[in-house]
Amino acid sequence: MSLKNFNASVKSAVSEQAFEQKLKEHTEDFYRCLIQLKPKCNMVTEPRQVNQAPETVIAISDTSDDEPNKTKRPSSKDTPIATTPKRRRLSRSYAMPIKAETATTPSGRVGFQSPATPSVFYSPMVSTGHVFPRMSHFKLSLLQIQQQIKRTTRGGFSHIVPLEVHEGLCLRAVAEWETPLMLYISKANEILIATVTKALGESLGDFSRRLIFKESEEYLTTFLREKGIEQTTRLEEIYNNEKYRVVTINEQGLHNHKAKEKAGLERFRLIRRAKAAELVEDDRDFRDLETLTPEEKLEESKLFTRWLSQLPEDEFKREIDVAATVRSYYLVAATRFTDAVSMDINSHLFRSLREGALENYLEQKLGLSPCPSK
C-alpha cells in the first residue's frame, strides 16, 4: 500500500501546478538564454590607419535591436565565418540522475543527487539569476560576409547572394545551442528528482530500515537514469535537426523579424559610417531607440537624412541584408526549438510518469505484478 501511495504521489506531483510552474520558469530562462545568444554584428569595415588607435566595434545587442551602443576592443579571437561544426553527441553526464551515497534529510527522507556538473555552468546570469550563465556569441562581420559571398559567387552572378551563405551562417548560429540544451536537461532532471525524492520519503519513510525501501530506491535510480538517457537522446535529435538544414514555414514571422533586424542594423551602420566620415565625434552618444521620445526620434531622423545626403551609397548593403536574414531566422528557430524541447519532455518523460510507467516498473522489479495465467 505504501508503494501504491508512492506511485500515486509521483503521478499527482508531476501533474500539479507547482511542478508545471517550475518547469515553465526554467523553460522561459532557457528561451531567454537563446535570445541572448543571437549573433552580434561587427560593423567596422574601414581599414585602420597606421598608428591609429583600434577602432571600436558596435556590438549589436542580443536582447534588443536598439540598445545603447556598447563598445569594446576588437579581439583576435573573433571567429571568422565557418562551416557548420561536425555533429557531436551531447554529453551523457547531463542526461541521467545519478544516485550518490544515500543522503538523509533532517526529516528522515532520502535524497538523490543530480548529475555532477561543472560549477561554472551554474554561475547565475545577470538577467535571470538562474541556471544559465552568460555565454560567448557567434559573431557576424560585414567584412567576413563580403568575403564569403565573393568565395561562393559564380562568375557573372556577383549580384546574387548564394543560398549557401545564408544557410551556413544560420546553421553556425544555432549550433551555439548545445550548452544551453545540456543545462536545460540537467535542471529539468533536478526538478524531477526533487519531486520524486519528496514522494519517496513521504510514502516509504517508515520503511527506511527495511529491504523494500533499499530495493525501491535502487530501482527508482535505475528507472530515472534510463528515462534520462532516453529523453536526452530525443532532445539531441531535435538539436541536430536544427543544425542540419535551414527550414521554416513561418514566412510572416521571418519577414517581421527581418524588417526590425534590418532597421536596427542599418541604424548602427549609418552611425558607424558617420563617425568614420567625421560627421559625428562619438557614436556612444546615440541611445537605445526605445528610450527616445517622439521628438528625439524625429530629430534623429532628420539628422540621418542629412548624413545620407553627404555619404556615398553603402557598399555593404547586401551584407547588412544577409546579417538581418541570419538574425531573423535565428529568432524564428529559437522559438520553434524552445517549444519543441518543452513539448517533447512533457509529452514523453513527464507523461510516462503520469501514465504509470514508474508504477509498472517498480511492481515488475519487486515481483508485485500478478502471476501470468497458464
Longest pairwise C-alpha distance within the chain: 94
The end-to-end CA distance of the chain, in Å, is 27
Q: What single-letter amino acid sits at 137?
A: H
Q: Residue 4: its pLDDT value, please?
A: 82
Backbone angles phi, psi at 140, to 5 degrees: -85, 155
pLDDT digits (tens, 9 = 90+) for 56-109: 443 434 333 433 344 333 333 333 333 444 444 444 433 333 333 333 333 333
Nearest residue to 262 via CA among 307, 323, 311: 323
* Grid cell of 59 as nine digits: 556590438
pLDDT digits (tens, 9 = 90+) for 238-291: 999 999 999 999 999 999 999 999 999 999 999 999 988 999 887 767 888 888
Buried b (16+ CB within 10 A) or exposed e, 177-193: bbbbbbbbbbbbbbbbb
CB 201, CB 326: distance < 8 Å: no
Q: Are strands 40-42 and 139-141 parallel, antiparallel or unpaired?
A: parallel
Q: Residue 371: its pLDDT value, please?
A: 53
Low-confidence spans in the chain with pLDDT less than 70: 47-130, 284, 369-374
CB 142, CB 319: distance < 8 Å: yes
Give, in order, the Cα–Cα distances in Å from 327 to each of 54, 215, 243, 293.
27, 52, 15, 27
Q: What is the pTM of this model?
A: 0.77
